Structure 1
Amino acid sequence: MDRKKIVRLSSLLLIAAVFAPVAFAQIFTCIDASGRKITSDRPIPECLSKDQKELNPSGTVKRVVKPVMTAEEQRVADQKLKSEAEEKARIEEERRKNRALLSRYPNRAAHDKERSTALAQVDDVILAAQKRIGELADQRKGINEELEFYKKDPSKAPASLRRQIEDNEKSVAVQKRFITDQDDEKKRANVRFDEELDRLRKLWAQAAAPTATATPTSVPAKK
Protein backbone atom coordinates (compact mmCIF):
# COMPACT_ATOMS: atom_id res chain seq x y z
CA MET A 1 0.00 0.00 0.00
CA ASP A 2 1.53 3.41 -1.06
CA ARG A 3 1.88 6.41 1.20
CA LYS A 4 -1.04 8.34 -0.37
CA LYS A 5 -3.49 5.48 0.29
CA ILE A 6 -2.29 5.19 3.88
CA VAL A 7 -2.81 8.92 4.46
CA ARG A 8 -6.28 8.79 2.86
CA LEU A 9 -7.36 5.79 4.97
CA SER A 10 -6.11 7.45 8.14
CA SER A 11 -8.11 10.59 7.32
CA LEU A 12 -11.30 8.59 6.81
CA LEU A 13 -10.85 6.79 10.14
CA LEU A 14 -10.26 10.12 11.90
CA ILE A 15 -13.44 11.63 10.42
CA ALA A 16 -15.45 8.57 11.45
CA ALA A 17 -14.09 8.79 14.99
CA VAL A 18 -14.99 12.47 15.27
CA PHE A 19 -18.55 12.19 13.96
CA ALA A 20 -19.47 8.80 15.50
CA PRO A 21 -20.58 10.28 18.87
CA VAL A 22 -22.77 12.77 17.03
CA ALA A 23 -24.33 10.15 14.78
CA PHE A 24 -25.16 7.88 17.69
CA ALA A 25 -25.78 10.52 20.38
CA GLN A 26 -28.72 9.81 22.70
CA ILE A 27 -31.24 12.52 23.51
CA PHE A 28 -33.26 12.31 26.70
CA THR A 29 -35.91 14.77 27.83
CA CYS A 30 -38.25 15.05 30.81
CA ILE A 31 -40.17 17.43 33.06
CA ASP A 32 -38.72 17.49 36.57
CA ALA A 33 -40.61 17.91 39.86
CA SER A 34 -40.60 21.72 39.52
CA GLY A 35 -42.05 21.61 36.01
CA ARG A 36 -38.75 22.38 34.31
CA LYS A 37 -38.02 20.68 31.00
CA ILE A 38 -34.60 19.06 30.95
CA THR A 39 -32.74 17.67 27.95
CA SER A 40 -29.57 15.61 28.13
CA ASP A 41 -27.48 13.11 26.18
CA ARG A 42 -27.94 10.53 28.93
CA PRO A 43 -30.65 9.46 31.43
CA ILE A 44 -31.51 12.44 33.64
CA PRO A 45 -30.93 11.94 37.40
CA GLU A 46 -33.49 14.63 38.30
CA CYS A 47 -36.20 12.58 36.58
CA LEU A 48 -35.49 9.10 37.94
CA SER A 49 -38.95 9.11 39.51
CA LYS A 50 -40.66 10.25 36.29
CA ASP A 51 -41.05 9.10 32.71
CA GLN A 52 -38.18 10.11 30.45
CA LYS A 53 -38.41 10.19 26.67
CA GLU A 54 -35.53 9.11 24.49
CA LEU A 55 -35.76 10.98 21.20
CA ASN A 56 -34.59 10.17 17.71
CA PRO A 57 -32.37 12.76 15.98
CA SER A 58 -35.53 13.91 14.19
CA GLY A 59 -37.17 14.70 17.52
CA THR A 60 -39.67 11.84 17.48
CA VAL A 61 -40.00 9.60 20.52
CA LYS A 62 -37.84 6.51 20.27
CA ARG A 63 -38.91 5.01 23.60
CA VAL A 64 -40.17 5.97 27.04
CA VAL A 65 -37.92 5.18 29.98
CA LYS A 66 -40.07 4.32 32.97
CA PRO A 67 -39.30 5.70 36.44
CA VAL A 68 -36.89 3.80 38.68
CA MET A 69 -39.06 1.86 41.13
CA THR A 70 -38.65 1.79 44.86
CA ALA A 71 -37.96 -1.56 46.52
CA GLU A 72 -41.67 -1.90 47.41
CA GLU A 73 -42.80 -0.94 43.91
CA GLN A 74 -40.37 -3.46 42.46
CA ARG A 75 -41.70 -6.14 44.79
CA VAL A 76 -45.29 -5.40 43.73
CA ALA A 77 -44.30 -5.38 40.05
CA ASP A 78 -42.44 -8.68 40.41
CA GLN A 79 -45.42 -10.22 42.20
CA LYS A 80 -47.72 -9.04 39.43
CA LEU A 81 -45.48 -10.57 36.78
CA LYS A 82 -45.33 -13.81 38.78
CA SER A 83 -49.12 -13.92 39.14
CA GLU A 84 -49.59 -13.26 35.43
CA ALA A 85 -47.13 -16.01 34.56
CA GLU A 86 -48.87 -18.45 36.92
CA GLU A 87 -52.26 -17.58 35.43
CA LYS A 88 -50.92 -18.06 31.92
CA ALA A 89 -49.46 -21.43 32.92
CA ARG A 90 -52.77 -22.42 34.54
CA ILE A 91 -54.71 -21.57 31.39
CA GLU A 92 -52.27 -23.50 29.22
CA GLU A 93 -52.49 -26.51 31.54
CA GLU A 94 -56.29 -26.30 31.45
CA ARG A 95 -56.25 -26.25 27.67
CA ARG A 96 -53.93 -29.25 27.63
CA LYS A 97 -56.27 -31.18 29.94
CA ASN A 98 -59.27 -30.28 27.79
CA ARG A 99 -57.52 -31.45 24.64
CA ALA A 100 -56.63 -34.71 26.39
CA LEU A 101 -60.25 -35.16 27.53
CA LEU A 102 -61.60 -34.62 24.01
CA SER A 103 -59.06 -37.03 22.61
CA ARG A 104 -59.97 -39.70 25.16
CA TYR A 105 -63.73 -39.12 25.03
CA PRO A 106 -64.74 -37.86 21.56
CA ASN A 107 -68.41 -38.53 22.36
CA ARG A 108 -70.86 -39.49 25.13
CA ALA A 109 -70.73 -43.19 24.26
CA ALA A 110 -66.98 -43.34 24.87
CA HIS A 111 -67.37 -41.71 28.27
CA ASP A 112 -70.28 -43.95 29.28
CA LYS A 113 -68.27 -47.01 28.29
CA GLU A 114 -65.33 -45.88 30.42
CA ARG A 115 -67.65 -45.32 33.40
CA SER A 116 -69.24 -48.75 33.02
CA THR A 117 -65.84 -50.44 32.79
CA ALA A 118 -64.52 -48.66 35.88
CA LEU A 119 -67.59 -49.46 37.97
CA ALA A 120 -67.65 -53.07 36.77
CA GLN A 121 -64.09 -53.53 37.99
CA VAL A 122 -65.08 -52.32 41.45
CA ASP A 123 -68.14 -54.59 41.41
CA ASP A 124 -65.91 -57.57 40.57
CA VAL A 125 -63.77 -56.82 43.60
CA ILE A 126 -66.86 -56.53 45.81
CA LEU A 127 -68.18 -59.86 44.52
CA ALA A 128 -64.85 -61.50 45.35
CA ALA A 129 -65.05 -60.12 48.90
CA GLN A 130 -68.65 -61.31 49.26
CA LYS A 131 -67.61 -64.74 48.03
CA ARG A 132 -64.87 -64.80 50.65
CA ILE A 133 -67.42 -63.93 53.35
CA GLY A 134 -69.48 -66.90 52.19
CA GLU A 135 -66.45 -69.16 52.48
CA LEU A 136 -65.79 -67.84 55.97
CA ALA A 137 -69.43 -68.51 56.89
CA ASP A 138 -69.04 -72.15 55.80
CA GLN A 139 -65.82 -72.32 57.77
CA ARG A 140 -67.62 -70.97 60.82
CA LYS A 141 -70.26 -73.68 60.52
CA GLY A 142 -67.55 -76.33 60.79
CA ILE A 143 -66.07 -74.55 63.80
CA ASN A 144 -69.48 -74.35 65.46
CA GLU A 145 -70.00 -78.06 64.90
CA GLU A 146 -66.77 -78.76 66.75
CA LEU A 147 -67.83 -76.31 69.44
CA GLU A 148 -71.00 -78.35 70.04
CA PHE A 149 -68.87 -80.89 71.91
CA TYR A 150 -68.15 -78.19 74.51
CA LYS A 151 -71.63 -76.72 74.61
CA LYS A 152 -72.12 -77.52 78.28
CA ASP A 153 -68.78 -75.99 79.23
CA PRO A 154 -67.29 -73.77 76.43
CA SER A 155 -64.32 -73.00 78.67
CA LYS A 156 -63.08 -76.53 78.01
CA ALA A 157 -62.83 -75.86 74.27
CA PRO A 158 -59.20 -76.14 73.13
CA ALA A 159 -57.27 -72.92 72.59
CA SER A 160 -56.77 -73.79 68.91
CA LEU A 161 -60.55 -73.87 68.40
CA ARG A 162 -61.00 -70.53 70.15
CA ARG A 163 -58.28 -69.06 67.92
CA GLN A 164 -60.10 -70.35 64.85
CA ILE A 165 -63.25 -68.54 65.99
CA GLU A 166 -61.31 -65.33 66.62
CA ASP A 167 -59.50 -65.51 63.27
CA ASN A 168 -62.74 -66.20 61.46
CA GLU A 169 -64.48 -63.21 63.01
CA LYS A 170 -61.53 -60.94 62.22
CA SER A 171 -61.45 -62.12 58.61
CA VAL A 172 -65.17 -61.45 58.19
CA ALA A 173 -64.74 -57.95 59.64
CA VAL A 174 -61.85 -57.25 57.24
CA GLN A 175 -63.92 -58.29 54.23
CA LYS A 176 -66.87 -56.17 55.34
CA ARG A 177 -64.65 -53.11 55.77
CA PHE A 178 -63.18 -53.79 52.34
CA ILE A 179 -66.64 -53.90 50.79
CA THR A 180 -67.53 -50.61 52.49
CA ASP A 181 -64.36 -49.04 51.10
CA GLN A 182 -65.20 -50.26 47.61
CA ASP A 183 -68.72 -48.87 47.86
CA ASP A 184 -67.16 -45.51 48.74
CA GLU A 185 -64.82 -45.87 45.78
CA LYS A 186 -67.82 -46.38 43.48
CA LYS A 187 -69.38 -43.19 44.81
CA ARG A 188 -66.16 -41.25 44.22
CA ALA A 189 -65.85 -42.68 40.72
CA ASN A 190 -69.40 -41.64 39.87
CA VAL A 191 -68.76 -38.12 41.16
CA ARG A 192 -65.60 -37.90 39.06
CA PHE A 193 -67.36 -39.15 35.94
CA ASP A 194 -70.27 -36.76 36.53
CA GLU A 195 -67.87 -33.82 36.78
CA GLU A 196 -66.04 -34.95 33.66
CA LEU A 197 -69.32 -35.32 31.79
CA ASP A 198 -70.40 -31.81 32.72
CA ARG A 199 -67.09 -30.49 31.44
CA LEU A 200 -67.20 -32.63 28.31
CA ARG A 201 -70.71 -31.46 27.38
CA LYS A 202 -69.34 -27.92 27.03
CA LEU A 203 -66.33 -29.12 25.07
CA TRP A 204 -68.44 -31.24 22.72
CA ALA A 205 -70.85 -28.35 22.16
CA GLN A 206 -68.01 -25.98 21.30
CA ALA A 207 -66.38 -28.52 19.01
CA ALA A 208 -69.68 -29.01 17.18
CA ALA A 209 -70.46 -25.28 16.83
CA PRO A 210 -68.91 -23.98 13.56
CA THR A 211 -69.24 -20.33 14.61
CA ALA A 212 -68.01 -20.74 18.18
CA THR A 213 -65.77 -17.86 19.18
CA ALA A 214 -63.91 -19.91 21.77
CA THR A 215 -61.92 -23.02 21.04
CA PRO A 216 -62.88 -26.29 22.79
CA THR A 217 -59.61 -26.17 24.66
CA SER A 218 -60.44 -22.88 26.36
CA VAL A 219 -63.27 -24.11 28.57
CA PRO A 220 -62.28 -23.83 32.26
CA ALA A 221 -62.52 -26.85 34.50
CA LYS A 222 -65.47 -27.15 36.84
CA LYS A 223 -64.36 -26.38 40.37
Structure 2
Amino acid sequence: MESRRAETGLVLLACALVLAGVPGASVAQAGGRTIYCCDVGGQPVCGDILPAACYGRAYREMSPSGVVRRVVAAPLTPEEIARRAEVERQHRAAEADRQRQLRLDQALLETYRSLDDLDSRRDRELRDLDRSIRELRERESELVKRQSALISDATQTDDSAVAASLEEDIRTLDSEIITQSRVIAAKLRERSAVLDRFEEHRQRYVELMGAPSANGVSRNGRGVVPGSND
Protein backbone atom coordinates (compact mmCIF):
# COMPACT_ATOMS: atom_id res chain seq x y z
CA MET A 1 0.00 0.00 0.00
CA GLU A 2 2.84 2.42 0.90
CA SER A 3 4.72 1.71 -2.32
CA ARG A 4 1.51 2.26 -4.27
CA ARG A 5 1.02 5.70 -2.71
CA ALA A 6 4.66 6.56 -3.40
CA GLU A 7 4.30 5.57 -7.05
CA THR A 8 1.12 7.60 -7.32
CA GLY A 9 2.96 10.56 -5.82
CA LEU A 10 5.77 10.21 -8.35
CA VAL A 11 3.34 10.11 -11.21
CA LEU A 12 1.51 13.19 -9.97
CA LEU A 13 4.79 14.99 -9.41
CA ALA A 14 6.03 14.13 -12.88
CA CYS A 15 2.81 15.49 -14.31
CA ALA A 16 3.22 18.63 -12.23
CA LEU A 17 6.74 19.10 -13.56
CA VAL A 18 5.58 18.70 -17.10
CA LEU A 19 2.81 21.25 -16.52
CA ALA A 20 5.34 23.54 -14.88
CA GLY A 21 7.41 23.42 -18.06
CA VAL A 22 10.29 21.24 -16.86
CA PRO A 23 11.63 19.58 -20.08
CA GLY A 24 12.05 15.81 -20.12
CA ALA A 25 10.47 15.42 -16.72
CA SER A 26 9.84 11.82 -15.74
CA VAL A 27 9.31 9.77 -12.66
CA ALA A 28 12.86 8.50 -12.77
CA GLN A 29 14.30 11.98 -13.18
CA ALA A 30 12.08 13.35 -10.40
CA GLY A 31 13.21 10.64 -8.02
CA GLY A 32 16.62 12.28 -7.42
CA ARG A 33 15.54 15.88 -7.27
CA THR A 34 14.45 18.44 -4.71
CA ILE A 35 11.23 20.11 -5.68
CA TYR A 36 10.58 23.72 -4.70
CA CYS A 37 6.98 24.79 -4.17
CA CYS A 38 5.23 27.93 -3.02
CA ASP A 39 1.63 29.07 -2.96
CA VAL A 40 0.53 31.84 -5.29
CA GLY A 41 -3.08 32.90 -5.16
CA GLY A 42 -3.96 29.78 -3.20
CA GLN A 43 -2.41 27.49 -5.84
CA PRO A 44 0.93 25.65 -5.57
CA VAL A 45 3.70 26.63 -7.97
CA CYS A 46 6.51 24.07 -8.18
CA GLY A 47 9.76 23.46 -10.02
CA ASP A 48 13.09 21.67 -9.72
CA ILE A 49 14.59 25.14 -9.25
CA LEU A 50 12.90 27.88 -7.31
CA PRO A 51 10.25 29.37 -9.59
CA ALA A 52 10.43 33.10 -10.18
CA ALA A 53 6.92 33.39 -8.77
CA CYS A 54 8.25 32.14 -5.43
CA TYR A 55 10.82 34.91 -5.03
CA GLY A 56 10.03 36.88 -1.89
CA ARG A 57 7.57 34.22 -0.68
CA ALA A 58 7.72 31.36 1.76
CA TYR A 59 8.45 28.08 -0.03
CA ARG A 60 8.85 24.36 0.67
CA GLU A 61 11.66 22.03 -0.31
CA MET A 62 10.10 18.63 -1.02
CA SER A 63 11.19 15.16 -2.02
CA PRO A 64 9.74 13.69 -5.24
CA SER A 65 7.41 11.62 -3.08
CA GLY A 66 5.89 14.78 -1.63
CA VAL A 67 7.66 14.75 1.77
CA VAL A 68 8.46 18.28 2.96
CA ARG A 69 12.16 18.40 3.74
CA ARG A 70 12.41 22.05 4.74
CA VAL A 71 10.20 25.12 4.96
CA VAL A 72 11.86 28.43 4.17
CA ALA A 73 10.08 31.47 5.57
CA ALA A 74 9.43 34.52 3.48
CA PRO A 75 11.93 37.37 3.87
CA LEU A 76 11.01 39.82 6.59
CA THR A 77 9.42 43.09 5.61
CA PRO A 78 11.05 46.35 6.81
CA GLU A 79 8.29 46.66 9.41
CA GLU A 80 8.91 43.11 10.67
CA ILE A 81 12.65 43.76 10.82
CA ALA A 82 12.01 46.91 12.85
CA ARG A 83 9.66 45.07 15.22
CA ARG A 84 12.18 42.27 15.71
CA ALA A 85 14.94 44.80 16.41
CA GLU A 86 12.71 46.53 18.98
CA VAL A 87 11.89 43.23 20.71
CA GLU A 88 15.58 42.37 20.86
CA ARG A 89 16.37 45.82 22.25
CA GLN A 90 13.73 45.39 24.95
CA HIS A 91 15.11 41.97 25.86
CA ARG A 92 18.62 43.39 26.16
CA ALA A 93 17.38 46.27 28.30
CA ALA A 94 15.43 43.90 30.55
CA GLU A 95 18.47 41.68 30.98
CA ALA A 96 20.66 44.70 31.78
CA ASP A 97 18.13 45.81 34.42
CA ARG A 98 18.05 42.30 35.87
CA GLN A 99 21.84 42.15 36.12
CA ARG A 100 21.93 45.62 37.68
CA GLN A 101 19.35 44.60 40.30
CA LEU A 102 21.34 41.47 41.10
CA ARG A 103 24.44 43.59 41.73
CA LEU A 104 22.47 46.00 43.92
CA ASP A 105 20.95 43.15 45.91
CA GLN A 106 24.33 41.54 46.45
CA ALA A 107 25.81 44.85 47.61
CA LEU A 108 22.86 45.35 49.98
CA LEU A 109 23.32 41.94 51.60
CA GLU A 110 27.05 42.55 51.94
CA THR A 111 26.51 46.01 53.49
CA TYR A 112 24.13 45.05 56.31
CA ARG A 113 24.57 42.06 58.60
CA SER A 114 20.94 42.23 59.75
CA LEU A 115 17.92 44.51 59.99
CA ASP A 116 19.18 45.73 63.36
CA ASP A 117 22.46 46.69 61.71
CA LEU A 118 20.56 48.57 58.99
CA ASP A 119 18.41 50.42 61.53
CA SER A 120 21.46 51.27 63.61
CA ARG A 121 23.23 52.83 60.65
CA ARG A 122 20.13 54.81 59.74
CA ASP A 123 19.75 56.14 63.28
CA ARG A 124 23.43 57.09 63.42
CA GLU A 125 23.20 59.10 60.20
CA LEU A 126 20.02 60.79 61.39
CA ARG A 127 21.61 61.71 64.73
CA ASP A 128 24.56 63.33 62.93
CA LEU A 129 22.23 65.27 60.65
CA ASP A 130 19.97 66.33 63.51
CA ARG A 131 22.96 67.62 65.45
CA SER A 132 24.15 69.59 62.42
CA ILE A 133 20.67 71.01 61.84
CA ARG A 134 20.37 71.98 65.48
CA GLU A 135 23.71 73.81 65.39
CA LEU A 136 22.76 75.59 62.18
CA ARG A 137 19.47 76.73 63.67
CA GLU A 138 21.24 77.99 66.79
CA ARG A 139 23.60 79.97 64.58
CA GLU A 140 20.63 81.33 62.62
CA SER A 141 18.91 82.34 65.85
CA GLU A 142 22.04 84.18 67.01
CA LEU A 143 22.24 86.06 63.72
CA VAL A 144 18.57 87.06 63.97
CA LYS A 145 19.08 88.30 67.54
CA ARG A 146 22.15 90.34 66.54
CA GLN A 147 20.25 91.82 63.61
CA SER A 148 17.30 92.72 65.84
CA ALA A 149 19.63 94.46 68.28
CA LEU A 150 21.28 96.44 65.46
CA ILE A 151 17.88 97.46 64.09
CA SER A 152 16.92 98.67 67.55
CA ASP A 153 20.16 100.66 67.88
CA ALA A 154 19.71 102.15 64.41
CA THR A 155 16.25 103.43 65.25
CA GLN A 156 17.45 105.05 68.47
CA THR A 157 20.60 106.85 67.32
CA ASP A 158 20.64 110.43 66.07
CA ASP A 159 24.12 110.13 64.59
CA SER A 160 23.73 109.65 60.84
CA ALA A 161 27.20 108.14 60.47
CA VAL A 162 26.46 105.56 63.17
CA ALA A 163 23.08 104.85 61.63
CA ALA A 164 24.66 104.28 58.21
CA SER A 165 27.22 101.90 59.71
CA LEU A 166 24.49 100.02 61.54
CA GLU A 167 22.43 99.72 58.37
CA GLU A 168 25.43 98.22 56.56
CA ASP A 169 25.86 95.66 59.36
CA ILE A 170 22.15 94.90 59.24
CA ARG A 171 22.34 94.20 55.49
CA THR A 172 25.38 91.95 56.03
CA LEU A 173 23.55 89.99 58.69
CA ASP A 174 20.50 89.75 56.46
CA SER A 175 22.65 88.08 53.79
CA GLU A 176 24.14 85.70 56.37
CA ILE A 177 20.68 84.78 57.66
CA ILE A 178 19.48 83.98 54.15
CA THR A 179 22.54 81.81 53.53
CA GLN A 180 22.07 80.05 56.85
CA SER A 181 18.40 79.40 56.03
CA ARG A 182 19.37 77.84 52.70
CA VAL A 183 21.93 75.58 54.36
CA ILE A 184 19.31 74.44 56.87
CA ALA A 185 16.84 73.70 54.05
CA ALA A 186 19.51 71.65 52.24
CA LYS A 187 20.23 69.67 55.41
CA LEU A 188 16.52 68.98 55.87
CA ARG A 189 16.33 67.67 52.30
CA GLU A 190 19.36 65.51 53.00
CA ARG A 191 17.67 64.12 56.09
CA SER A 192 14.55 63.28 54.08
CA ALA A 193 16.70 61.58 51.45
CA VAL A 194 18.41 59.49 54.12
CA LEU A 195 15.05 58.34 55.45
CA ASP A 196 13.88 57.42 51.96
CA ARG A 197 17.11 55.59 51.15
CA PHE A 198 17.10 53.50 54.30
CA GLU A 199 13.40 52.75 53.96
CA GLU A 200 14.01 51.49 50.42
CA HIS A 201 16.98 49.43 51.60
CA ARG A 202 14.97 48.04 54.48
CA GLN A 203 12.06 46.94 52.31
CA ARG A 204 14.35 45.28 49.79
CA TYR A 205 16.40 43.64 52.55
CA VAL A 206 13.23 42.13 54.04
CA GLU A 207 12.22 40.85 50.59
CA LEU A 208 15.61 39.24 50.02
CA MET A 209 15.88 37.69 53.47
CA GLY A 210 12.31 36.46 53.29
CA ALA A 211 12.74 34.78 49.89
CA PRO A 212 14.45 31.40 50.44
CA SER A 213 16.29 29.72 47.61
CA ALA A 214 15.36 26.30 46.21
CA ASN A 215 17.26 24.51 48.99
CA GLY A 216 15.51 26.49 51.72
CA VAL A 217 18.50 28.69 52.56
CA SER A 218 18.11 32.45 52.61
CA ARG A 219 19.50 34.53 49.77
CA ASN A 220 22.67 35.45 51.66
CA GLY A 221 23.55 31.76 51.89
CA ARG A 222 23.73 31.76 55.69
CA GLY A 223 20.16 30.88 56.56
CA VAL A 224 19.78 34.02 58.66
CA VAL A 225 16.31 34.74 59.97
CA PRO A 226 15.21 38.32 59.08
CA GLY A 227 15.93 40.67 61.95
CA SER A 228 18.32 38.34 63.73
CA ASN A 229 21.81 39.36 64.85
CA ASP A 230 23.50 36.12 63.91
Aligned 1:140-159 pairs, distance under 5 A: 140=147, 143=150, 147=153, 151=156, 153=158, 157-159=162-164
Identity of aligned residues (%): 23
Match of 1:74 in 2: 81
Match of 1:96 in 2: 103
CA contact (8 A) 1:107 1:204 kept: no
Q: 1:196 to 1:39 in 2, by over 3 A?
A: farther
CA contact (8 A) 2:209 2:219 kept: no
Higher RCO, 1 vs 2 (CA within 8 Å, ≥6 residues apart): 1
Matched, 1:128 2:135: yes
Aligned 1:168-207 pairs, distance under 5 A: 168-207=173-212
Match of 1:35 in 2: 43
Q: 1:119 to 1:29 in 2, by over 3 A?
A: farther
Question: Which residue identity is paired with 2:165?
Answer: S
Match of 2:168 in 1: 163
Normalized per residue, which structure has more helix? 1
Cα deviation per residue 1:26-85 (whole Å; 9 max; x = unaligned)? Answer: 9574432243263546x66544454445679xx987764321012122212222221222
Query: 1: CA distance between counterparts of 2:149 and 2:58?
Result: 94
Q: Which consecutive residues of structure 1, in runs of 5 or more, have no partner in the other structure?
A: 1-25, 217-223
Post-superposition shift, 1:165?
1.6
Post-superposition shift, 1:135?
4.3
Match of 1:111 in 2: 118
Cα deviation per residue 1:185-205 (whole Å; 9 max; x = unaligned)? Answer: 212321222122112111111
Q: Which consecutive residues of structure 2, in runs of 5 or more, have no partner in the other structure?
A: 1-32, 221-230
Cα deviation per residue 1:84-117 (whole Å; 9 max; x = unaligned)? Answer: 2222222222222222222222421221122123
Query: 1: CA distance between counterparts of 2:106 and 2:124?
Result: 22
TM-score relative to the length of structure 2? 0.62
CA contact (8 A) 1:53 1:61 kept: yes
Q: 1:61 to 1:215 in 2, by over 3 A?
A: farther
Root mean square deviation, CA, Å:
3.8
CA contact (8 A) 1:49 1:69 kept: no
Q: 1:113 to 1:211 in 2, by over 3 A?
A: same
Query: 2: CA distance between counterparts of 1:186 and 1:35?
Result: 75
